[in-house]
Chain A
Amino acid sequence: MRIRAMRSRDASGVASVYEACASVSAGLLSRNPERWKLLRRQRGWKGIWIVAEDHGRIVGYGLGLLQKGQADIGEIIWSPEHEGTALGQRLLDEVVRRLNNESPAIVSIWGMAGSATFKLSKPRELEPLEATGIFMAKAIDAHLLLRDAKRVLEKRKVRGLAVEVDRKSVVIGRGARVAVRVSMAKNVLFGLLLGLRTLKGEIARGGVRYSPKKPEALKLLSEAFPERVFWIEDAW
């Protein structure tokens, strides 16, 4: 495997890596070709794009941005099959090395608390500054949210779970017998779907109530609302 500068013909490979991450994670933005174009040509910033190539296939990419002495580490993304292979660390190191060549006044990385890229950053000795932003969400309509939740949970192959929000409920899995009932506020359901809230945390604080209180029920809930695998800091 080698890490090198991105070429224009790598664009589709880079998009494929992103889509592979999106297929196993939660809350990433869908990107059309226009969005990729905007990302590649951010006005006023010099972008440093690198890719990891394995037997002619793009398996990861990294982005660094430079503007008037400020260097920002952007997305560091690798394909799910390379999770745990230190590819992310290699990509990050290469992005930082290339940014350092420009002698920046400040090198920074910005993202959600707990993001995987932050874990990679620890060895770089970047110090935490104050929290700068907050991501806020609101579930607007329980009925519409349950419709979205049903699609996601069926994709996760969940069956026999009755989800109740604001006295409206839906059973996951066509024709399935209800094995577990779970109820929560709509904002909690939305947070769990996106992996922004954790099932364990919500159960502990009483945000999620379920029955029967058996280990099998908890197992089904954990399958329905797994912890977030990939974190990509899409901001809009």
Chain B
Amino acid sequence: MNRLPSRRPKIRIATVKDASQLAQIYTDAFAPVTAADVRRSMKRKDARAERIVAVVDGRVVASVTVIYFDLVVDGVPIRTGAIAGVATSWSYRRQGLATMLMRAAIKRIRAQGISNSSLFTGVQLPAKRIYERLGYSETSRWLRLADIRKPVDVLKRVFDERSRWLPRTPFAGPALKRWRERVLYDSDGWRATVTFDGKQFVVQAGRRGNPTIVMRGPTHPLIVSSWNRFAYDRHVKRGTIRVAGPRGACEFWRRIVTQEWVE
């Protein structure tokens, strides 16, 4: 684990006043979130929740949410402390803040007489290693079965989400300002060209102009690789999908496609 910031973070429970700073952290970590969204979720009535935050120099830099639910086992309620929204500000990552907050969360859960904690995380997220170190074990994998009927429309949806998020992040925003490549998806029975116009990604059906990068492969692997880093790397390694183009451009494209920055 990396060292904690030189000034020891203060750990406390977040209040509604922290909503705008939390919104920035969540936007860095997950997707665009507004302060109003955070305030709304802080007032949720379906379950009691508390956000534990780390504060450095008066600023909220990391957060973990504990939601108290009842799991029903044969009609018997068992309280669980569900962990959610583990997020750290971009400039404070890899300093052990998430681990520190998780430990504080577990302590709070135990102090309330709750026997267990549970959480849900993405397969591709390295946060899984933090949870394993803290004693969480994988109990089941979640899968998605799909019938992809209009792959170009699905890609449009995927890149619409990227457009709303990536240009606004401190990690991808500056690089995307200079990025003017053209990417061709070439599959069985369909083609699509992806470009970035300086503000957002544009997905058009068919081949448009001269592509810098060409991605070839069957529909499912191509689409799945657009949101799963492990799938992307595995399919490229196996040759199920083939990515051709200048090395530097391909590497940056991989980061755009797989959103590796989420880490």
In the complex with contacts A132-B144, A136-B138, A140-B114, A236-B75 CB distance below 8 A: no
In the complex, A177 Cα to B44 Cα: how many Å?
A: 47
* Among A68, A114, A144, contact of B115 (Cβ-Cβ < 8 Å): A144
B45 interface hit (Cβ, 8 Å): yes
Interface pair A24/B74, CB less than 8 Å apart? yes
Residue ID in chain A nearest B40 by CB atoms? A43
Interface residue stretch chosen among B92-100, B121-129, B179-187, B204-212 = B121-129
Interface pair A147/B115, CB less than 8 Å apart? yes
- Chain B interface residue count, Cβ-Cβ cutoff 8 angstroms: 63
Interface pair A132/B140, CB less than 8 Å apart? no
In the complex with contacts A29-B69, A38-B46, A236-B82, A133-B145 CB distance below 8 A: no
Per-position 1/0 for B111-150, Cβ under 8 A of A: 0011111111111000010011011111111111111111
* Among A133, A148, A191, A194, contact of B122 (Cβ-Cβ < 8 Å): A133
Chain A residues with Cβ below 8 Å from B123 are 130-134
In the complex, A123 Cα to B230 Cα: how many Å?
A: 28
**Minimum CB–CB distance for B29 against chain A, Å:** 16
In the complex with contacts A30-B77, A70-B157, A134-B121 CB distance below 8 A: yes
In the complex with contacts A25-B74, A140-B106, A152-B76, A110-B144 CB distance below 8 A: yes
Chain B residues with Cβ below 8 Å from A151 are 76, 78
Q: Interface size class for chain A?
A: 35 or more
Interface pair A30/B120, CB less than 8 Å apart? no
Interface pair B146/A135, CB less than 8 Å apart? no
Interface pair A129/B144, CB less than 8 Å apart? yes
**Minimum CB–CB distance for B111 against chain A, Å:** 10
In the complex, A48 Cα to B57 Cα: how many Å?
A: 48
Interface pair A140/B110, CB less than 8 Å apart? yes
Interface pair B149/A135, CB less than 8 Å apart? no
Interface residues of A (CB under 8 A from B): 22-32, 34-35, 37-38, 68-70, 104-114, 118, 121, 124-141, 144-145, 147-148, 151-152, 155-156, 187, 190-191, 193-194, 196-197, 233, 235-236
